[in-house]
Amino acid sequence: MAEELKLFRTWSSPYSLRVVHALKIKGLEYETIFEDLSSKSASLLQYNPVNKKVPVLVHNGKAICESLVILEYIDETWKQCPLLPRDPYEKAKARFWAKFGDEKLSSSIWNVLISQGKEQEEAIAAAVQNLKLIEEQLQEKKFFGGEKIGYLDIAFGWTANLISILEEIIDLKLVDEEKLPLLSA
């Protein structure tokens, strides 16, 4: 079946990486188009006129935007290796924490980066608090999705990489092995 599957992304965008991971887990072949955000291509603007952002997935001419929306689309269209839990309550929880990750967690971590002195101390406390909440969701499981990587692992994937980079930049430890043992693993 010759299907057209294209992903518009940038190499660094964590939101784009979510889609890359999902497509990989599903074993799908696709074409990657790297965008230069300072000079967006006509195609990107055509496929995502509202937000003009990456990632955008184009499947047989139809454009899907917003990384978490794309994840659900991929999961519903290709049924192998399910990403989201089947149980509606577990699904609702996964969606809730993914949203939390995008809203509260990412802004609290960003605040740590851009603030200094006392403000930064407070920002760190807030970020660690948020990370603790995520830690609780892991409980004793290997992944948020249980034995296998799932929707929430993909949604949080950016934390693994980005946080260690930020820690290096600002020379601080956010994901302390003592305080957050499960998350650092």
Min dist. Cβ of residue 54 to other proteins (A): 14
Nearer to other proteins, 71 or 180 (CB): 71
Min dist. Cβ of residue 27 to other proteins (A): 18
Amino acid code (one letter) for 41: S
Min dist. Cβ of residue 129 to other proteins (A): 10
Residue 66 lies near other proteins (rule: CB under 8 A): yes
Angle in degrees, CA 161, 145, 76, rounded to 5? 100
Please give the Cα distance from 70 to 19 (Å, whole number): 7
Structure tokens at 160: 């693994």
Residue from 21, 26, 40, 95 that binds other proteins (CB under 8 A)? Answer: 95
Nearer to other proteins, 2 or 50 (CB): 50
Cβ–Cβ < 8 Å for 137, 97: yes
| Alpha-helical regions (H) of 26-144 | 42-47, 67-77, 88-100, 106-114, 117-138
Report residue 61: phi and psi, to 5°: 85, -10
Min dist. Cβ of residue 182 to other proteins (A): 18
Nearer to other proteins, 3 or 177 (CB): 3
Residues with Cβ within 8 Å of 181's Cβ and at least 6 positions away in sequence, in order, are: none
- Binders of other proteins in range 96-135 (CB under 8 A): 96, 99-100, 104, 133
Min dist. Cβ of residue 72 to other proteins (A): 7
Residue 11 lies near other proteins (rule: CB under 8 A): no
Please give the Cα distance from 118 to 152 (Å, whole number): 33
Ordered strands of the 62-65 beta sheet:
31-34, 5-9, 56-59, 62-65
Residue from 12, 31, 41, 69 that binds other proteins (CB under 8 A)? Answer: 69
Of 14-22, 29-37, 63-71, 165-173, the segment contacting other proteins by CB under 8 A is 63-71
**Residues contributing to the site for other proteins (CB under 8 A):** 50-51, 59, 62, 64-66, 69-70, 72-73, 76-77, 88-89, 91-92, 95-96, 99-100, 104, 133
